[in-house]
Structure 1
Amino acid sequence: SRIFVQDTIYDKFVAELSALFDKVKVGLPWEESTQLGSLIYEAQVEKVLSYVELAKEEGARVAAGGVRVTDGELGKGCFIRPTLIVDATNDMRVAREEIFGPVAVVIKFHSEEEVIEQANDSLYGLGGGVFTQNLNRAIRVARAIETGRMWVNTYNSIPAGAPFGGYKQSGIGRETHKVILEHYTQMKNIIINLSDKPSGFYDLD
């Protein structure tokens, strides 16, 4: 997951988001205070941690997390601290490949045109979001980003009945909407001449 942050607020944003990541309660799934559970199995833990190391090799910095949780009962499971990778660029593997773990990659940008170009420079296009106080900018960016869903000043709001699906290599078609029926339907057109005279393209009458 990529987070594009304008350069004018980058340092403040990274500092505050890092602090929030550090506060996330990683825990057992049946505990009500738990905010983040485990990964699915050991191999995925190893994969996610390998991406953390790759980020460092590529020149990015780990601002929060990036480590396995080893405390108490959690040490027996597949738990990783929520991880924030900063000072990344869009050409890094951690920004271009799907990690499937609690990892966010922060990339700095300056102009609207620049961030649209970078956001669209991806094989994937499932969902995205834009946060701004300028409504015209929100509409421009939301229309320009190549994703199946765009949120404006919110994220992961999923109302029932809203079509959901992606562009490019992020899924086929749309779910949670009546349009999905079209993907299970073969349309046929039957034309019947009810007159007693010949009709059609080759009418010889």
Structure 2
Amino acid sequence: MTTYTQPETRQTLGRIGQPAPLRELASQRWDVIVVGAGHNGLTCAAYLAKAGKRVLVLESRERVGGACTLEEPWPGYTVSPCAYLCGLLHPLVIDELNMAAYGFDWKPARAGMFVPFEDGSSIQLEEDDNLCEDEIRRFAPQDLAGWQAMGDVMRRARDAVRPAGAGDMWLGAPPSRAQIEDRLKSDSEAISLLFEWSMVEY
């Protein structure tokens, strides 16, 4: 994969240009053509290129990154329009793709999530469970028991499927549903959370 470095890359927030005329690109032979330069497409393209494949990445937008791009919707405020967390980016990917050499720098935010409402009220959910529960108790005390129960089942699912170390099921070949259920040891709530809940329900 050929990388075209532009000195103003940081300033252009992921904007890209066409590296060569379309006719020239179309006339070449490519081992792999990746459609979409979002974070998943770029990661796949990088691994394929590391494996020696000639890779062409196509993107209809003027900038790469997909959900993980940076934009400036208001003057002076640079934000990611979709990606609100970085926990799904596995450290192995960061190391194998040598992302630090390309400027990757991750500084986790202290606050987990801040949600303002139109009436002027707000809720702030921290990484600390006790602080979270204090905030739920203040904002919606009737929901505290449900919040605690939801957190418990999510922790059980996480600890079973993504334990620290080599047992992380996100590394290597994708696991089958049977393999995941075997890890969950007939935990019906955790199985329901992973396979039956929708994002809307969550």
TM range (shorter): under 0.3
| TM-score under structure 2 length normalisation | 0.25
Higher RCO structure, 1 or 2 (CA under 8 Å, sep 6+): 1
| TM-score under structure 1 length normalisation | 0.25
